[in-house]
Chains A and B, each alone.
Chain A
């Protein structure tokens, strides 16, 4: 197929602070989050965000980690050897050759969320490409209760990708299109993505529009995630990280179901893991130099 398109990717980008001079900093700490779909690197200079990247994960973790950290350091003159401590996290965390330590993404997301959205955050939901994590944390961003679902594709970014592919709709448009319906349809009844696919095809055969199917799938996903969150107990304030945070089709429906609005910040929700990892790196760096 010549017109074969990848409907499920986000756009890549890198950023660094235009005014900060990293050469004046004492503590250069980095966090690298190698996820299943995207990888992020974030550099803290004396505990402040200096630079980050959000790129696609390649075919192997070491290359993706290098690409991410080089992306963050692009045009800054910084080199890998300048970083004093690096923490790896995410799916590929154990395969980052230049990292000093690997820390699970659950701990990193809680810590990152605490920095991004403040110490009042108690519930963190991270919907990644291949998993879904529900975390309860304290005022320091320390995990107090968590669950991670990486066994089943339903309720993960992958479930959404499968649906986007089936309907040939770019994933970034799903949220908006799912609200272009005359009335909110009942949710797709199958949890399993394989069965939901057949159900979606059946609904289309019976005359549903693509947007209706999207709406039904988004609300099924929101419902499923709210059940998962129920297990750890949802407490205000509530924060969503990961790619799904960018999908209003799920976020708004989930907020409605939970009766709580999620905290929005100026930060890109996808960097929470890398940010948390960098914060741990910064802490470990300070511990080590004490």
Chain B
């Protein structure tokens, strides 16, 4: 980011070595920006591995980065809902992107993208097809298991009892959204909300979320994966 404008960005899958992944992402972003490493004044990290990156000058919490990034992109946003692969959080923030309150679901796969990943495996559909599949559901069925491991068995027994995969997919997203919405209610629901994080790509989750939260429309970040990184860059500029 240069003078508050995004110059380059990149995304790589986090590998075993977080520092290596971070370096690779940085190099790709520099390439896109057409800049040399020396041109970067300061690097700030965020996310699960934010403390593990030796070449960074500092780090900011995921909640702070998400709020800063979301308000930068969507100035009216006051509730930021970040559903990532391993954790999810709901953040209440002010017009400057300052965190006023937040709630987090972590260390349990049931409240994050890992849940949909495990269910896609049980359903034997690629993860990216799980969302579109659930949009074709014709009925709402409940899912009793609140644990990803137990839910896998439930999905398998639903398949055995000839339940449509689309209906199961909807039940999976409904389960995850009910957990995410409960977390949002802890910080208070402001209709000026924005959905970020990798799971925001999933149209099935977004549809379930709308139904569960009772809103006709929910704003989804255009590039939900980058909001945190943008927030970190803004924190670096500060």
- Name the interface residues of A128-174: CB closer than 8 Å to any CB of B: 130, 151-153, 158-159, 162
Question: Shortest CB–CB separation between residue A224 and chain B, in angstroms?
Answer: 12
- Cβ contact of A159, chosen from B107, B114, B149, cutoff 8 A: B149
* A190 contacts chain B at the CB level, 8 A cutoff: yes
- Chain B residue with the shortest CB-CB distance to A151: B146
B147 engages A191 (CB within 8 Å): no
- Cβ contact of A191, chosen from B16, B86, B107, B150, cutoff 8 A: B107
Q: Which residues of B contact A159 (CB under 8 A)?
A: 149
Complex: how many Å from CA A130 to CA B150?
8
Interface size on B, residues (CB 8 A): 12
Question: Shortest CB–CB separation between residue A200 and chain B, in angstroms?
Answer: 13
Question: Shortest CB–CB separation between residue A223 and chain B, in angstroms?
Answer: 15
A158 engages B149 (CB within 8 Å): yes
Complex: how many Å from CA A193 to CA B115?
12
Complex: how many Å from CA A98 to CA B52?
61
B109 engages A195 (CB within 8 Å): yes
Q: Which residues of A contact B146 (CB under 8 A)?
A: 151-152
Question: Shortest CB–CB separation between residue A19 and chain B, in angstroms?
Answer: 43
Q: Which residues of B contact A151 (CB under 8 A)?
A: 146-147
* B221 contacts chain A at the CB level, 8 A cutoff: no
* A205 contacts chain B at the CB level, 8 A cutoff: yes
- Chain A residue with the shortest CB-CB distance to B148: A194
Complex: how many Å from CA A275 to CA B114?
40
- Name the interface residues of B105-119: CB closer than 8 Å to any CB of A: 107-109, 114, 118
Complex: how many Å from CA A273 to CA B38?
69
A153 engages B149 (CB within 8 Å): yes
From B16, B107, B108, B114, residue with most partner A Cβ within 10 Å: B108
A152-B108, A202-B16, A205-B16 in contact; A194/B150 too (CB < 8 A)?
no
- Chain A residue with the shortest CB-CB distance to B150: A153
* A192 contacts chain B at the CB level, 8 A cutoff: yes
B109 engages A194 (CB within 8 Å): yes
A194 engages B107 (CB within 8 Å): no
B148 engages A192 (CB within 8 Å): yes
Q: Which residues of A contact B109 (CB under 8 A)?
A: 192-195
Q: Which residues of A contact B114 (CB under 8 A)?
A: 194-195
Complex: how many Å from CA A159 to CA B114?
17
Interface string of A181-218 (1 = CB under 8 A from B): 00000000011111100000010011000000000000
**21 examples of A-B residue contacts, CB within 8 angstroms:** A151-B147, A152-B108, A152-B146, A153-B147, A153-B150, A158-B149, A158-B150, A190-B107, A191-B107, A191-B108, A192-B108, A192-B109, A193-B109, A193-B147, A194-B114, A194-B118, A194-B149, A195-B86, A195-B109, A202-B16, A206-B16
